Amino acid sequence: MYELIQALGNSYYIQSPAKIGLVRLNEQEVCLIDSGNDKDAGRRVRKLLEENRWRLTAVYHTHSNADHIGGSRYLQSQTGCQIYAPGMECAFTRHPILEPSFLYGGYPCRDLRHKFLLAQESGAQELTPEVLPEGLEPFPLPGHFFDMVGFRTADGVVYLADCLSSKETLEKYPISFLYDAAAYLETLEMVKTLPGKVFIPSHAPACEEISGLAQYNIDKVKENAERILDLCREPLCFEVLLQKLFQQYRLELNFEQYVLVGSTVRSYLSWLKDAGKVEAIFENQMLLWKRI
C-alpha cells in the first residue's frame, strides 16, 4: 500500500484505498491528483516525495469526498502547496462538514462525523484553466458527485476518479454511491469511448481498456433501477424500500451505509420519478413511492 507506480512517462499513481495521481512537472516538481483519505495518507505521500527529492507544488482534486481530500490539509501545512477543486467541490473541500450534512439531510450526529465522511478542511481555491500546469487537462465526470472531474496528462494517462467501480466492489456492494443517476449514465457512456493509453480509476485496477468496465457499471445501475421499480409495485415508504434493498442485497445496515446507500436510493427515485416511471403518493401523512 502507498507504492508509487509509473503508469506512463511522467504520469504515476500511488496505490492506496483511493488512488492518488502524481505527475512530474520537471526534475524537481510534481503535482498530485487527490490526496488520500486522512492525515496518515498525507504523511505517507510526503515520505514518498522526500525519498524522490520532489517538491509538491499543488494538489488538484477530482471531487470532494473525504477519501480524496483527507490528506490535503497536512500536505498544505507541510509543503506550502496549493489546493484546487472544481466548482461546488471547492466549497465542500473548504467546508467538509457539508458532505455528511448533505448525505444525512441535516446536522450529522457523531456517528457520521469521522474521517471517512468528514475530512479536515484545507485552503482550497477553485480549479480554473489558469492554475493548471501545461499538459494537464481536466474534463467533466458528472453523476457521482456534484462537479467531479477527471484529468488527462500529456502522456495519454487518464485519471477517472470515482466514475466507476471494480467488478469485485460491485459484486460485494451492488449499489455504489451516486448523486445524479441520469448524469452518471451519460458519463459512463462517454467513458466507453474516451481516448487514452492508460486509465486509472480511483477504486479499480489501472488498465489500458476501460469500455468493458464502464458497461458493467452501466448494467449495474440499470439493474438497481429495475429492482427498485419491482419493489415499488405496491406503494412503499422510503424506509421500507431501503430495508428491502438491504435484505435482497444482503448488506449490513449501519449509520454510514444508511446515509450512503440511502442518499443513492433517493437519487434513483428522483431519476425514476422525472422519467415518469414512479410516482410519489402522500397517504396518511406519509410519502409513498409507487411504480407507474
Residues of the chain short of pLDDT 70, as ranges, are: none
Over residues 73-123, the pLDDT tens digits come to 999 999 999 999 999 999 999 999 999 999 999 999 999 999 999 999 999
Rounded Cα distance between 113 and 131, Å, is 32
Which residue, of 117, 139, 162, is where some domain finishes? 162
Residue 179, domain member (yes or no): no
Rounded Cα distance between 87 and 149, Å, is 10
Rounded Cα distance between 202 and 16, Å, is 9
Rounded Cα distance between 70 and 237, Å, is 35
- Here the cell at position 248 is 435482497
Predicted pLDDT of residue 158 = 98
Residue 36, domain member (yes or no): yes
Residue 87, domain member (yes or no): yes
Residues 55 and 151 in one domain: yes
Which residue, of 134, 162, 190, is where some domain finishes? 162
Give the CATH number for residue 267. Answer: 1.10.10
Residue 216, domain member (yes or no): no
Which residue, of 144, 162, 180, is where some domain finishes? 162
Number of neighbouring beta carbons within 10 Å of residue 80:
10
Q: How far is CA 137 from CA 62, 130, 145, 205, in A?
A: 12, 11, 19, 22
Residue 145, domain member (yes or no): yes
Give the CATH number for residue 106. Answer: 3.60.15.10
Predicted pLDDT of residue 1 = 86
Residues 235 and 150 in one domain: no
Residues 153 and 244 in one domain: no
Residues 121 and 263 in one domain: no
Give the range of the structural domain holding residue 94, as residue numbers without chain letter.
4-162
Residues 242 and 144 in one domain: no
Q: How many domains does the chain have?
A: 2
Residue 180, domain member (yes or no): no
Residues 235 and 157 in one domain: no
